[in-house]
Amino acid sequence: MFGIELSMIWAVLIAVAVFLYVALDGFDLGVGILFPFAKDSHERDQMQSAIAPVWDGNETWLVLGGGGLFAAFPKAYAALMPALYLPIFLMLLALIFRGVAFEFRHHGRKSGKKWWTIAFSGGSIVAAAAQGLVLGAFIQGVNVVDGEFVGGALDWLTPFSLLVAASLVAGYALLGAGWLVFRTQGELFERARGWVKQLALLTALGMGAVSLATLGVDPRVTYRWGLTMTSVDWETFIVLAPLPLVAGGLCFLLWRGADKGQHLQPYLYTVCLFLVGYVGLAISLWPYIVPFAMTPSEAAAADNALALMLWGALPMLPLILGYTAYVYWLFRAKVSDEAAYH
């Protein structure tokens, strides 16, 4: 269609869905990660109010990511999911606790509320870490023979995947802090500004470490960036070198934004930072949809299935983005004690 392979269009669409998930549910999970650092129960109520109307829509991007992978790239889905069995399972469990805690926290009485507060926070932390493990295991590649996963149950557990998990927890916390700067005021706003500054540093460190480690997972990645053990292909490297520089610049901007008391900018800069990391990753792993084993065209569903879905996605995605934007606009005001009533 339009001279481009359908499988490539769908690879891009799913990549966009996953990115939207990270940018949106990332701040929900981040707020949960920051729960233990709140002053008191009332402050945690405010933090949850800042995300309660939108979290469900945000999580739906994860369903589109999973469901879309199944529908558009069934062979990639069939190869990846068994390989990632345990971290995916961990993520689903954590998302259960996180998701029900939105309602349960306010129906529980004294001990119940305490327990669901822990469940919300623990669920957010574990879900973020599990997604990091999934990402780490994905980047380091999956052992596939004839389209079927042939590795062990714990292949995903490596120092690299643990590093990615830790970095992603920090990154989500940064998104959450940025979101709280946008949606809260007063004491909590001040506290969130402080979190942004600390987490910007932590996230920058994590991203740097993951980027360097990614260069080591496979010679193809190193080569992509124009590097080998002994030499540098300057022509390739120079083209790509701006990415880490832009990332560094964004970290500085968001740190300064929080310092100056800007409201929406810290969150937006963080999203841009994630985008830079995401693009860098895409460059590293291109053209694989299952790293080092399958390309989109090898993993794709039949063309008529991809075409049918594209005809649905073309009108539906703008519509979805439209009403999602409307809901965000509706709940754009700062959370306050009165905010919930008006």
Partner 1 sequence: MDFDALLLSRLQFAFTIGFHIIFPAFTIGLASFLAVLEGLWLFTKKPVFRNLYLFWVKIFALSFGMGVVSGVVMSYQFGTNWSVFSAQVGSVIGPLLAYEVLTAFFLEASFLGVMLFGWKKVGPKLHFFATCMVAIGTLISSFWILAANSWMQTPQGFDFAADGTMVATDFMQVIFNPSLPTRLMHMVLAAFLTTAMVVAGASAFGLLKKKALPESRTALRMAILMMALVAPLQLVIGHQSGEVAHRYQPAKVAAMEGWWETQSQQPTLLFGWPDEDAEATHAAIGIPGMGSWFVAGDANAELQGLKAFAKEDRPPVWITFWAFRVMVGMGLIMIALGLWGATLWFLKRVDGATLYQRALVLAAPSGFIAVLAGWIAAEVGRQPYVVYGVLRTADAVSPVPAGSVATSLLVFMVVYAIVFSAGALYILRLMAAGPDTDEPPPKETSEPPGSPLATGVKSAADKGA
Judged by CB under 8 A, the chain residues 286 through 315 that form the site for partner 1 are 301-302, 304-305, 308-309, 312-313
Of the pair 112, 219, the CB lying nearest partner 1 is at 112
CA-closest candidate to residue 180, choices 169, 168, 188:
188
Work out whether 84 is an interface residue with partner 1 (CB under 8 A).
Answer: yes
- Kindly identify the residues of this chain, within the stretch 39-58, that bind partner 1 according to CB under 8 A: 41-42, 45-46, 48-49, 52-54, 56-57
Could you give the maximum distance between any two Cα atoms of the chain, in Å? 64
CA separation for the pair 247, 143 (Å, rounded): 32
Of the pair 286, 311, the CB lying nearest partner 1 is at 311
Cα dihedral sign, 65-69-71-77: negative
Of the pair 44, 193, the CB lying nearest partner 1 is at 44
Q: How far is the CB of 80 from partner 1 (least distance, A)?
A: 7
Work out whether 1 is an interface residue with partner 1 (CB under 8 A).
Answer: no
Work out whether 15 is an interface residue with partner 1 (CB under 8 A).
Answer: no
Cα dihedral sign, 74-80-83-86: negative
Stretch that binds partner 1, among 32-40, 179-187, 247-255, 320-328 (CB under 8 A): 320-328
CA-closest candidate to residue 191, choices 35, 28, 29:
35
Of the pair 44, 191, the CB lying nearest partner 1 is at 44
Residue 144, beta-bridge partner list = 149
CB neighbour class for 240 (10 Å; exposed up to 12, middle 13-18, buried from 19): middle
Of the candidates 1, 205, 232, 330, which one interacts with partner 1 according to CB under 8 A?
Answer: 330
- Kindly identify the residues of this chain, within the stretch 87-146, that bind partner 1 according to CB under 8 A: 88-89, 92-93, 95-97, 99-100, 102-108, 112, 116
Q: How far is the CB of 44 from partner 1 (least distance, A)?
A: 9
Of the candidates 18, 80, 133, 293, which one interacts with partner 1 according to CB under 8 A?
Answer: 80
Residues in the chain: 342
CB neighbour class for 340 (10 Å; exposed up to 12, middle 13-18, buried from 19): exposed
Of the pair 79, 166, the CB lying nearest partner 1 is at 79
